A = this chain, B = another copy of it.
Amino acid sequence: MTNQHYGQFCGLARAAEIVGQRWTLLILRDLSVGSRRYSELVAGLPGIPTNTLATRLKELEDEGIVARTAPTGTERSVVYRLTSRGEELGPALDALSRWGAGGMREPRDGEIVTTSSITAALRVAAGDGVAPADWDTVYNVRVGEVEVHVVMRDGAITADPGFAEDADLEITAGPGIRDVLAGTLSAQDAVETGAVALDGDPALFERFADTLRVPYSVHLAETA
């Protein structure tokens, strides 16, 4: 199972040999959200052939990007996680996410969201993850079947899978939430048009909409 090489002594070429493999970027995205078992990866990556996943995990392990923790004692599952070297890919994944999201308008036919994709998107939207120190707000965000929560506390913003127990505001949204993150749909308009439904203080959603931001590209239809 030899990776494809470009034969160039070049950082980008080396990176391309890894992230240019099909499914690899999405596997890394899911692992960047948190450690995952094989079956969780399969579930979070609809359409991935199991042999491809197994092959990728082995390649990434060989490259020192992913570490495999064999089940020990009561644990009966293999757990995959990013190594430090894998974590170093974070800025590149974020930059790619941001660029790709800039070109994202409506979902294409059949396109779905996953827990990892929403979590990763919200982390990217949080930018450097810094917030005013006096904020202390927990958001539960539901998009379709996906449930994640965002915490703005102690000067930091974090996003993680699942609902929080003590949320201040519950946000139920469809793909229109994308426009809110882009800044092209105001919090108020989003609520009034039914793009999002709130359970809690609407003012907290204003803060959510103002703080999290992944702009649309303004260069989508260049003709010359």
A residues whose Cβ falls under 8 Å from a Cβ of B: 4-16, 18-26, 29, 46-47, 64, 67, 83-85, 87-89, 91-104, 107-108, 110-114, 117, 120-121, 124, 175, 178, 214, 217, 219-222, 224
Contacts and interface: CB of A to CB of B under 8 A. Distances in A.
Given A7-B47, A113-B8, A25 B15 contact: yes
Given A12-B96, A26-B13, A97-B11, A102 B88 contact: yes
A88 B219 CA distance: 9
B83 A121 contact: no
Contacts of A222: 64, 67, 83-85
A39 B47 CA distance: 38
Contacts of A96: 11-12, 15-16, 19, 92, 96
A114 B89 CA distance: 25
A67 to B, nearest CB: 7
Given A64-B221, A219-B83, A100 B14 contact: yes
Nearest to A94: B95
The 9 closest A-B pairs by CB, nearest first: A11-B101, A15-B100, A84-B219, A11-B100, A92-B95, A14-B100, A10-B117, A9-B107, A16-B25
